[in-house]
Structure 1
Amino acid sequence: MTATSSRPGALDAPPVTLRRVRLGAGGPLSNVRIANGLVNAVYPADAPNAHPGDRNIDLDGRTLLPGLWDAHLHIVQWAGARRRLDLSGAVSARAAAECARNRAAGMPPREMLIGYGYRDGLWPDQPHKDLLDALLLDRPTVLVSADLHTAWINSAGLALLGRADHPTGVLREEECLKATAQLPAVPQEVTDRWVLDACHAAAERGITGFLDFEFADNVTDWTRRAGAAAVPVRVAAAIYPEYLDAAIEAGLRTGDVLDALGGLLEAGPLKLFTDGSLNTRTAWCHDPYPGIASGRPESHGVARIAPEELQAVMRRAAAHGIEPAVHAIGDRANEVALDAFEAVRCRGRIEHAQLLTPKDVPRFGALGVTAGVQPTHAPDDRDIADRHWAGRTHRAFAYADLLAAGARLELGSDAPVAPLDPWLTIASAVTRTRDDRPSWHPEQRLPLVEALAGACRGRRLIRVGDRADLVVVDTDPLTADPHTLRRMPVHATMVAGAWTHVPD
């Protein structure tokens, strides 16, 4: 299968009728007409041909779904990670270092080695620059954790980044972000080409749009990419605090459709952070982490912003129509984020919402706060959570509880933390496992129809007048077993009435 070269959103695309397609999961066999970028008509498959001049495509009983969205990813990091050393299988710091040594053996001299994807929360040994130095003394090496909150760097890499005196080479949170921002830049045209390749790969899996939380000036970057090539997805471009003034001056409001990408680009929310992550043990929690003395400042995780400062920034953004998207993983962080939404009384999102107290679950629905969640994290982090959140995991990744309490759920991958594949996301939400083990806290599984809605930006039906952002799959998700659901065969993808992925 391959993507087409046509630019999505072109309203001069000729009308097409999709014949004999099931209208949604478990839906009736229907014909669906697409014209001017919209769903123009829906009628029974055995009805007379109402539009004889259309191009007709017989889909032979396949299932037509609303286009899939990834509600949280970092596209440049994902595009780069697809070409970097994958350390997700490393079971120890030594194993990760040996994997890096093996990769370095085939690289040009002095080229920096960058790896990603390790989870050290369960390692029997600790990462340290001395371990990397023993195996990669002269090779600048930077290894970034799966959660993007830790960078493990050897002495040669630290020297290049102006941190030669760092005692351990393990940089966390702000220190990590600053260090990774200093990594040797890939030429802009190369990065943009990698991003475009990643977007086409996403279209092949049924993605029609995503919310990009890349740590960058995203509106500017996507406007530039729009001028170079046809992008096969819609993009909501998140705004970071350092670009807030410019966004306000430009009159941007969350949800505004911009001219770039042929009208497929929209202004996203303002990204703010309250805490760190579970694997790094910097998620801000009410209870201390095991093995860390309760009197130490980091015993309960890391608070990355004072509550009063969070409220002030949210209030200023909301006054200009820019909704906040607040990163909160620990239960204390989520409480502070919800308190801020209650004080400011604005629309917005909490990203991750991984650990919640029972009293905070109903506040999402009551305050109208969207929970942007990443279901693949639950099976990926189950063992780490069992160790570091022992006794509390019944309220971790509590998607069913949130749904029952009236919260709006939007599903994403957090790529590169997890692969950019919506079917892995959906399957993880439905099964709460990714291997042969039983479901982890199965009471928090989502029904398939709810997982699909969460992966379609809330769209549940295909109706006349809707944007023709659609995906055709070979198997009805309602009848798919977990294995098939994870590897769902995608037949074709359409954005604004134009094919972005079609069979060869």
Structure 2
Amino acid sequence: MTLYKLIAASLLLGSSFSALAEFELIHNVKGYTLTRQGDLKTFSTLVFKDGKVVRTGDEGLLKSYSQAKKIDGKQHVLLPGLIDAHGHVIGLGQNLVQLELRNTRSKAEIGEQLSRFAQDKSGWIIGRGWNQENWPTKQFPTAADLDKYVSDRPVILSRVDGHAVWVNSKAMALAGINSNTKAPAGGEILRLANGEPSGIFIDKAEELIRVHQPKPSKEQLNAALDAAGKHLLALGITSVHDAGIDYPTWQIYKERDAAHTMPMRIFAMLSAADPKLETMLQAGVYKDQQDFLSIRSVKIYADGALGSRGAALIDDYADRPGHKGLMLESQEKLEQLFELSFKYGFSANTHAIGDMANHTVLDAYENTFKKTGGKLLRNRIEHAQIVTPADIPRFKSLGIIPSMQPVHATSDMHMAEQRLNAMQLQGAYAWQSFLNQGSKVAAGSDFPVELANIFDGLYAAITRMDHNQQPELGWRNNEALSRKDAFKAFSLDAAYAAHQEFKLGSLEQGKWADFILIDQDIFTIDAADIYKTQVLETWLAGEQKYKR
């Protein structure tokens, strides 16, 4: 061999080793991923480079990539980064610094927490998480119940579902609320026996109070984003579908993305309620090359929530005769919003909980598709909680993705049986019925309505039980999911619902190396223990972002 050829071979060999050295490899793991066909694949070694998956396989890859940086997974279980298909990122971040009332069991307990919280606060006192269904009386509270603890400053406490607020008399006075105040269409003001507002404002009536609430500053929004990102990464969540962002949040997300400081991946839906909706739409679909931010859908509200009796039903509420809930938009208005979204290439993701709301939204989609098209945009119904059995096949025929939150079923089950009769419950939280017909279910948590822990959601989807393993066989257990299908709903199918199935949701070649290490095998342990799973590490695009 000539000297020239020896030098060339040496240089080529050196460059090969240099290239190999850029690879990273985590091995000695019990890895699980889905394939594009939906099959569950196991592996012990994951190779990645430049933030993307190169290969998965067995320990033989250590020899193939001998110069790669090696990480010992210490026999832990490795999964793709989990995707929450419906959450509220800024709301979660704000909730982490506000008065947290999720586990309170009485008005008195809330009053005591409010008193302590208010001691070193000035201005508006803001909190969230109360649920009258957890109290002995199960009755809605009043402003007087808050006045006993704080009367000199306005107090506004959101119900756990975010579809009602409980305020004190000071807040009503600042808002000019009195017995003559009328609720806007799509809202309700609960009243005392004498006709005076009680202090509970449901759905669109919330705005009568909220319009006077101070708006968060840019600094506060950024802090909320960072706090939420830190919290979610610690739970193994690497991507979130943010269900309804306003104009200031839209601006901040784009600024942070341009600066490469997004804490996690966000698929953001524009809020149809924002006055600047069309301004945001005119700016066009947004998608960065690193897939940290995607904005290509609009969040629309059709009705309220079941807990506050705002979900729109075909028949009366079983526990409130004469009341059918609240449609927040007419079918005509829904069709206008769909047309506007489709005009700019955005999909429409519509909140619908009650059977009337789901029926009306399906009709609106069908009419709009006939007029303007848009069927191929992967439009969604968010929640799809109570659906008449006859309407379930329409999701498939219209190409509508049911975006559902499994933990809602186990949180709601006792309340739902009070609110609804047997006929209304037939299509309630019907995950398996949707899967059986070939629909893809995109699963989420709806945080901060529920805790942002996907292992809670997996447990609920698989068992249909609460953490006490009740009811014994699971609530309406014919709708329970298999472990693989539940996992798919929080990974590959969630990615599909965001047009990202070729980038996220599984650890296949060319996809982003988003993965987590957990302390137990969710596919083999007793199902009763799934919700106890702890995240040990979270990696995003091949970089460790969290370590327990």
- Same topology, TM > 0.5: yes
Distance in 1 between the 2:203 and 2:232 partners?
29
1:463 to 490, 496, 508: 508
Q: For residues 423 and 111 of structure 1, do their structure 2 counterparts lie closer, same or farther at Cα, with a shift above 3 Å needed?
A: same
Q: 1:279 aligns to what? A: 307
How far 1:214 moved relative to its partner? 4.2
Q: Confirm whether residue 17 of structure 1 aligns to residue 25 of structure 2.
A: yes
State the structure with bigger RCO (CA 8 A, min sep 6), 1 or 2: 1
Structure 1 residue 371, shift from structure 2 partner = 0.9
| Residues 1:16 and 1:398: Cα distance change in structure 2 (over 3 Å) | same
Q: Paired residue for 1:491?
A: 536
> Paired residue for 1:234?
265
Larger deviation: 162-171 or 52-61?
A: 162-171
Paired with 1:152 and 1:307, the residues of 2 have a C-alpha distance of 29
Of 451, 473, 485, 1:450 maps to 485
TM-score (norm 2): 0.82
SS state of the match for residue 211, structure 1? strand
State yes or no: 1:138 paired with 2:152. yes
1:39 equivalent to 2:53? Answer yes
Q: For structure 1, which segment, 338-347 or 438-447, has the greater mean C-alpha deviation from structure 2 after superposition?
A: 338-347
Report the alpha carbon displacement of residue 128 of structure 1 after superposing the two structures with TM.
Answer: 1.3
Q: Closer, same or farther in 2 for the Cα pair 1:311/1:160, shift >3 Å?
A: same
State the alpha-carbon separation in 2 of the partners of residues 232 and 102 from structure 1: 32
Partner of 2:79: 65
- SS of the equivalent of 2:28 reads strand
Q: Counterparts of 1:289 and 1:419 in 2: how far apart (Å)?
A: 27
Aligned residue in 1 for 2:430: 398
Counterpart residue type for residue 269 of structure 2? A
Shift of 1:291: 4.7
1:478 pairs, out of 491, 507, 523, with 523
Distance in 2, matches of 1:362 and 1:236, equals 27
- After superposition, the CA RMSD in angstroms is 2.4
Partner of 1:120: 132
Task: Say yes or no: does 1:353 pair with 2:384.
Answer: yes
More divergent stretch after superposition (440-449 vs 476-485)? 476-485
Larger deviation: 435-444 or 22-31? 22-31
Checking the alignment, whether the CA contact within 8 Å between 1:68 and 1:457 is kept in structure 2 is no
- CA deviation string 1:106-132 (max 9, x = no partner): 334x54322211122465233111222
Counterpart for residue 323 of structure 1: 347
Alpha-carbon offset, residue 224 of structure 1: 2.8
Higher gyration radius (CA): 2
- 1:399-420: CA deviations, max 9, x gaps? 1111112211111111110111
Measured in 2, the distance between the counterparts of 1:275 and 1:415 equals 18
Q: Deviations over 1:155-195 (max 9, x none)?
A: 11223344366622211111214533542334321331232
Structure 1 position 100 matched with structure 2 position 114 = yes
2:381 is the counterpart of 1:367: no
Q: Secondary structure at the match of 2:481?
A: coil
Q: What is the CA deviation profile of residues 327-379 of structure 1, one whole-angstrom value per residue up to 9, with x for unaligned ones?
A: 10000110111112222232300000010111111221222211111111111
Q: Is residue 165 of structure 2 the alignment partner of residue 151 of structure 1?
A: yes
Q: Is the 8 A contact 1:205 1:421 kept in 2?
A: yes
CA offset digits 1:384-431 (Å, max 9, x no partner): 101111323342111111111221111111111011121111111112
**How many Å separate the matches in 2 of 1:406 and 1:353?**
16
Match in the other structure for 1:377: 408
Matching residue's letter, 1:443: N
Q: Which residue of 1 aligns with 2:93?
A: 79
C-alpha distance in 2, partners of 1:42/1:377? Answer: 35
1:22 Cα shift? Answer: 2.5
Query: Structure 1's 263 and 446: CA in aligned 2 closer, same or farther, altered over 3 A?
Result: closer
Q: Secondary structure at the match of 1:213?
A: strand
Instruction: Give the CA deviation at 1:301.
Output: 0.8
Percent of aligned pairs sharing the same letter? 27
Moved more, 16-25 or 334-343: 16-25
Is the partner of 2:269 in helix, strand or coil?
Answer: strand
Unmatched 5+ stretches in structure 2: 1-20, 34-39, 182-196, 370-374, 494-500
Deviates more, 1:479-488 or 1:415-424: 479-488
Q: How many Å separate the matches in 2 of 1:135 and 1:358? A: 47
Deviates more, 1:305-314 or 1:211-220: 211-220
Instruction: Return the letter of the residue paired with 1:224.
Output: E
List gaps (5 residues or longer) in structure 1: 1-12
Deviates more, 1:433-442 or 1:142-151: 433-442
Q: Tell me, what secondary structure is at the counterpart of 1:360?
A: helix
Distance 1:490 1:134, change over 3 A: closer
User: Using the alignment, how far apart are the partners of 1:157 and 1:118 within structure 2?
Assistant: 18
Question: Among 320, 339, 345, which residue is 2:363 paired with?
Answer: 339
Does the 8 Å CA contact 2:81/2:515 hold for their aligned counterparts? yes
Matched, 1:414 2:446: yes
Of 65-74 and 35-44, more deviation after overlay is shown by 35-44
Partner of 1:386: 417
Q: Report if the CA contact (8 A) 2:300-2:349 is conserved.
A: yes
1:132-162 alpha-carbon deviations (Å, 9 max, x no partner): 2233222321111011111111111223344
User: Is the Cα–Cα contact under 8 Å of residues 364 and 406 in structure 1 kept in the other structure?
Assistant: no
Could you give the per-residue CA deviations for residues 267-288 of structure 1, whole angstroms, max 9, x where no partner exists?
1411111111101101011110
Partner of 1:306: 330
